[in-house]
A and B are shown apart, each in its own frame.
Chain A
Amino acid sequence: MDVLRLSAFDPYAELKDFVARQSGAGAVASLIGLCRAESGRVKTLVLDHFPGFTETEIARLMAQTRDRFALEDLCVIHRAGRIAPGEPIVLVAAAATHRRAAFDAVDFLMDYLKTEAPFWKKEEGPDGARWIEPRSQDLENKLRWTGDRED
């Protein structure tokens, strides 16, 4: 599975291809995550990853998403390496018969990518570099999907 990209990718071309290969779907929902400039504080976002493991873990999270929601298809493309502000970091797209499953699947998978995908982020800027860890908001977002509710 061609999930990881080590150089810039075109999310619009990828999304176009994804939509074009659907036959039974009635809805496609998608999210494009962008590298923030943080008002000039970030010149480069460096995404460290673990070749061979990062891909497997993303595949596991995708399988979890497919198990939970009634999807026709699911797509993830994730950057690694050195990323400039404004460049896409991630594309998640879900195709389903009806829109709710597609929206929810994208939301769910993004929450899990944020906290469980094997990437390590470092922001480099004029004031130096700092490693980014998941925010408590990211962990809280993921907790929305656990507990009693079953979709």
Chain B
Amino acid sequence: MARILLFGKLAETAGWRERHLALPADIKTLSALRAYLADSHQEIGAASTRAAVNKRLVHGDDPVSDDDEVAFMPPMSGG
């Protein structure tokens, strides 16, 4: 099962921070997973939402599988 993580406002809006999800057979890429999750959590699909697969920031698209940890993150702000 893939491990899905949400942070900041995304986690608060969704009401969860971490979920284990058996990926449906047709979800093989980050963009497909993003669209799938955005059905119930619209903000995950927002252009400003960044994604990291196995703690690596993904700029374009990437394959995802049941072994992966996928994090969705709203705009970052440190300092």
Chain B nearest CB: distance from A52 CB in Å? 6
Are A33 and B55 touching (Cβ within 8 A)?
no
Q: How many residues of A contact B (CB 8 A)?
A: 28
Are B7 and A114 touching (Cβ within 8 A)?
no
Q: Which residues of chain A (5-47) have a CB below 8 Å from chain B?
A: 33
Q: Does A120 contact B (CB under 8 A)?
A: yes
Q: Does B60 contact A (CB under 8 A)?
A: no
Are B55 and A120 touching (Cβ within 8 A)?
no
Main secondary structure of the interface of A (DSSP, over half): mixed
Are A120 and B79 touching (Cβ within 8 A)?
no
Chain B nearest CB: distance from A1 CB in Å? 15
Q: Which residues of chain A (57-88) have a CB below 8 Å from chain B?
A: 57-58, 78
Chain A nearest CB: distance from B48 CB in Å? 8
Chain B nearest CB: distance from A9 CB in Å? 15
Known pairs A56-B55, A57-B57, A118-B73; A50 contacts B5 (CB<8 A): yes
Q: Does A96 contact B (CB under 8 A)?
A: no
Contact of B8 among A52, A115, A131, A138 (CB under 8 A): A131
Interface residues of chain A, those whose CB is within 8 Å of chain B, are: 33, 48-50, 52-53, 56-58, 78, 89-90, 110, 113-122, 131-134, 138
The 6 closest A-B pairs by CB, nearest first: A120-B8, A117-B78, A113-B79, A119-B78, A131-B9, A113-B78
- Sample of 17 further A-B pairs with CB below 8 A, known A117-B79, A121-B77, A122-B9: A33-B79, A48-B11, A50-B5, A57-B57, A114-B79, A117-B77, A118-B7, A118-B73, A118-B76, A119-B76, A119-B77, A120-B8, A120-B73, A120-B77, A131-B9, A133-B74, A138-B77
